[in-house]
Amino acid sequence: MQTACDFLSVNGYKLLWGPGRHGIGHNLFTYHRSPAGLITELFAELDRMKRGTRYFEPRPWHRDNPQRPKSMGQGPLGL
């Protein structure tokens, strides 16, 4: 990840966010803006599951409304 971020940086891709780790897939991520203005996500270490092995039991994304995505409001802070 560090080598890839260094490469992107010297080629004009500005780091926007990260490095961080996504919650659901546990993968590392960074977001970059290309010289053309496009946003690119770089990711690594995504969890891999084999069908039928039951590594993890399903769990809700969040506690207040399980199994449904949250929707954000329209204010500046999503309120």
Backbone φ and ψ of 4, nearest 5°: -65, -40
Instruction: List the structure tokens of 15.
Output: 């780091």
Rounded to the nearest integer, the mean pLDDT of the chain is 77
pLDDT exceeds 70 at position 70: no
pLDDT exceeds 70 at position 61: no
- pLDDT, position 20: 87
**Which tens digit of pLDDT belongs to each residue from 11-21?**
999 999 988 88
